[in-house]
Structure 1
């Protein structure tokens, strides 16, 4: 019963009964474990945070930015935070779009994909000429509807790649509906860690993104 950890008690009359319960409750168990891991990441980050003053000033939100992240690019209504490590890097993008950019029709996933591809072409370039970040065309992203900061949010998970290059990796894109300010606030995290596990790095990105608080 050490903290932090989750303990699940599963009992049944026989093996089949226990397996049936596990299958029935698996999504709930996974969701609980993931939520706990994100909270633990947030607790660790609090010990050495990077200033979010520029984020507050530009977007009216606070964000718990973990140690090692630096402001890689700051433009009008666009911020790129990056943390480099031995085998790659983590990135967080912050920007906003009008509500109609996401909700112009019923094809939300296509609208979000087009939006992030446009942002990638304008801002996220490779070292080679004529290279920029796009959503990987070979695999359709997954779309979920969740709540972040008690606001309706579209969570998109997929793979990014550099057009005309060979770099790629996973991304998580949170489009948070901010009706009061007539916008979708976009918080996106993506990682580049070739040939190595990316799980913990993605958890770190989600921990930072889910710490968001709206100040106005």
Structure 2
């Protein structure tokens, strides 16, 4: 864990998003993706209670190696939560004390309170025991809320540089819109399948390492709710990937890694059904693999399923932010009603 300093906040914030003001007078938030500032009394933070908080909110991101926590935590006392500290992008404000009287433990959120597009989560309880129970029961909700906000911020950044001709082609031929940064190239555009790819290099531990990010989007007719069951989604994923990645010269192809249990999140239901799946992929017949994130949405008006499957190949690299980028892209997919 890193101690919070104003200098660190300013450096991180300026590198991440600049120091402009919006029309309402709010300045930009400070900090990097995945940073969370915990505002709490020092004696609580440095004791067993603080250790419990750190364990909850640095829980591992599913299906990535090397392992990374959900967040990088910073710390501030309530007295020091002022000036630039108040502009931190994600804030978890923990308030424990008798002054809360008989108030039930609560969690509330505030958007753009001290900085533009900032999120502040307030957790209030009368005792440490009440607070631990509250956060133990709700920490996943907080993680999802903050990560959803980070995903939307990432979408804004990615939308600045796009190839308009690619976007127009996707809209015309595929019947949906999406963010496609200009750094991504189209590998396959055939029928109901679109495959875009980005190859880049990152410097880590004084070594230059190459990374590959792939997004495969397929659409198919929606016939029954059973098609949205996890088992059937994974079967469809394997069918699509085998069809486009099979190499008959060495009998290799990409598929879902069955030895790893997927982490599933149902985002919405009914006619607006959306599901997120985090898992691993592997290359059959080769020693390759990595994390995968899928985003499945029911396009009810057009009676079809839009199935986006994104994966990272980056041996030895930290992948949390690579997966976040892919998540931002595939969750930008918006169907166009072609039945009108």
- Return the TM-score normalized by structure 1: 0.89
Shift of 1:127: 10
> 2:138 is paired with a residue of what secondary structure?
helix
Counterparts in 2 of 1:128 and 1:20: CA distance versus 1, 3 Å? farther
Match of 2:194 among 79, 87, 109: 79
Question: Which residue in the other structure is 2:162 paired with?
Answer: 49
Aligned residues: 213
Question: Which residue in the other structure is 1:96 paired with?
Answer: 219
Tell me if the contact between 2:260 and 2:280 (Cα under 8 Å) persists in the aligned partners.
yes
Match of 2:303 among 171, 182, 190: 182
Deviates more, 1:181-190 or 1:156-165: 181-190
1:164-183 equivalent positions in 2, closer than 5 A: 164-183=285-304
Q: Matches of 1:189 and 1:79 in 2, distance apart? A: 12
Counterparts in 2 of 1:144 and 1:21: CA distance versus 1, 3 Å? closer
Q: Matches of 2:278 and 2:129 in 1, distance apart? A: 34
Shift of 1:101: 7.8
Q: Matches of 2:261 and 2:145 in 1, distance apart? A: 26
- Return the TM-score normalized by structure 2: 0.58
> 2:301 is paired with a residue of what secondary structure?
helix
Q: Matches of 2:303 and 2:220 in 1, distance apart? A: 9
Tell me if the contact between 1:82 and 1:90 (Cα under 8 Å) persists in the aligned partners.
yes
Unaligned runs of 5+ in 2: 1-85, 88-114, 202-209
Tell me if the contact between 2:263 and 2:278 (Cα under 8 Å) persists in the aligned partners.
yes
> 1:160 is paired with a residue of what secondary structure?
strand
Over the aligned positions, Cα root-mean-square deviation in angstroms equals 2.3
Counterparts in 2 of 1:10 and 1:182: CA distance versus 1, 3 Å? closer
Shift of 1:40: 0.8
Structure 1 residue 15 corresponds to structure 2 residue 128: yes
Question: Which residue in the other structure is 1:211 paired with?
Answer: 332
Tell me if the contact between 2:281 and 2:291 (Cα under 8 Å) persists in the aligned partners.
yes
Deviates more, 1:138-147 or 1:199-208: 138-147
> 2:241 is paired with a residue of what secondary structure?
helix
> 1:54 is paired with a residue of what secondary structure?
helix
Tell me if the contact between 2:272 and 2:300 (Cα under 8 Å) persists in the aligned partners.
no
Structure 1 residue 142 corresponds to structure 2 residue 257: no
Question: Which residue in the other structure is 1:193 paired with?
Answer: 314
Give the number of the structure whose alpha-carbon radius of gyration is greater: 2
Deviates more, 1:91-100 or 1:129-138: 91-100
